[in-house]
Amino acid sequence: MNLPEVSSFFGIQVYINFSDHNPPHVHVFHGDYRALIDIRDASVLQGALPRRQLKLVLAWCEIHREELLEDWELVKNQQPPKRIDPLA
């Protein structure tokens, strides 16, 4: 699995997979936790994160939805995604 990192903040890493399936989503890791987050509506597709980190990730996804969708299109065309600003 080829997962380029698009952002990281507060111990959370966010990746997009070059060979992934629809719907557009990101892979989120925090310690031993993993989740797939739907970019379109900032919802959990699979997995789980601790409550605090989940709230941060969902807010970040809402703020950066357009950039995330652009990155999704880039990786679908086998181009590297652009870095996206973390939550500060």
Q: Is 82 part of any domain?
A: no
Q: 53 in a domain, yes or no? A: yes
Task: Evaluate whether residue 88 is within a structural domain.
Answer: no
In this structure, is residue 31 part of a structural domain? yes
pLDDT tens-digit profile of 11-27? 999 999 988 889 999 99
Could you give the number of structural domains in the chain?
Answer: 1
* Residue 35 within a domain: yes
The answer to whether position 43 is within a domain reads yes
Distance CA 34, CA 85 (A): 21
pLDDT tens for 40-86 read 999 999 999 999 999 999 999 999 999 999 999 999 999 999 999 99
Q: Is the pLDDT of residue 1 over 70?
A: no
Q: Is residue 32 part of a domain?
A: yes
Indicate the DSSP class of residue 83.
P
The model's pTM: 0.94
Q: Which domain holds residue 72?
A: 5-76
In a domain, 33, yes or no: yes
